[in-house]
Each structure stands twice: as structure tokens, then as C-alpha cells.
Amino acid sequence: MPALHREANWKLTMYKDHNPPHFHVIVSDGSEALVAISDLRLLDGGAPAKVLRAARAWAVVHKPELMKAWERYNR
């Protein structure tokens, strides 16, 4: 699946996946975190704190777009 957002060392992506609605933060160091769209809590995995802060900050602003993407990918 293409990235929904990219930064220098991480990307935010989404797949046809299990509930709850979430996105994946994939870091260039190989770490990956699953983050709930609704409240931005960490569901699984992990990533450097600085990356998670940046991903959550981006997601707060783009939450409606993330939910639309989830609905599109998970029909």
C-alpha cells in the first residue's frame, strides 16, 4: 500500500486490516508501530518517541482523511 504521508525517516501507511481502525508508522530503522485513529493510542509494536510524536501530530490534523482512507481500504 502506498504511504499516506512521508517524513525523512518514517512513513505512515494503511492496509486492508483488522479493527480497530488504525495506521502503521514504519521507521527506516525497521521498527513499526500500529496507532489507533480514534484516540492515537499505541496498539502494537513501537517506534522511537520522536517519530511517534511527529506521526501523532500529523494524524491529529488529518484524522478525517485517515478515517476515509480506512473506510476505502477496508470495505
Residue found under cell 518517541:
49
In angstroms, the CA 10 to CA 20 distance is 22
For residue 55, count other CB atoms closer than 10 A to its CB: 24
Report d(CA 25, CA 40) in Å as an integer. 12
Smallest Cα–Cα separation from 56: which of 12, 4, 1? Answer: 12
**pLDDT tens by residue, 1-47:** 679 999 999 999 999 999 999 999 999 999 999 999 999 999 999 99
Provide the pLDDT for residue 1.
67
pLDDT in tens, 62-71: 999 999 999 9
Rounded distance, CA 53 to CA 57, Å? Answer: 6
